[in-house]
Amino acid sequence: MNYENFLFSQLFMNYIENNETRYQELEYDDMYPEVIAHREYFLKSKHNIDSESEYDCILNYLEDNLPNELSIDSFEGLKELRDDMIKRGEIPNKLNN
């Protein structure tokens, strides 16, 4: 694991622990592919910019993209990205959507 992945996962977990989201109810095995897919989506998002720190970029992404009860399936392209990652064997196929 590199620092960028570590930072994203820590900020993601901190965010869901302190904000009411559907992710609070997921078990770790079910949350893992969600975190990985969100990381990939963040990297391609408007929030991943060079003019701010990576920390701030991630926080901005989380604040904009993890509102209450929002499903990963509601992100345009995110469900397809997650499904492709499952097909490639990059994340386990243990989703309860």
**pLDDT tens across 32-71, in order?**
888 988 998 899 999 999 999 999 999 999 998 886 544 5
Q: What is the mean pLDDT of residues 69-74?
A: 52
pTM given for the model: 0.70
Counts of helices then strands in the chain (DSSP H, E): 4, 0
Q: DSSP string spanning 63-92?
A: HHH--TT--GGGSTTHHHHHHHHHHTTSS-
On the question of pLDDT at 74 being above 80, the answer is no
| Domain ranges (residues) in the chain | 3-87
Q: Copy the structure tokens of residue 76.
A: 């345009």
**pLDDT tens across 7-37, in order?**
999 999 999 988 878 788 888 888 888 898 8
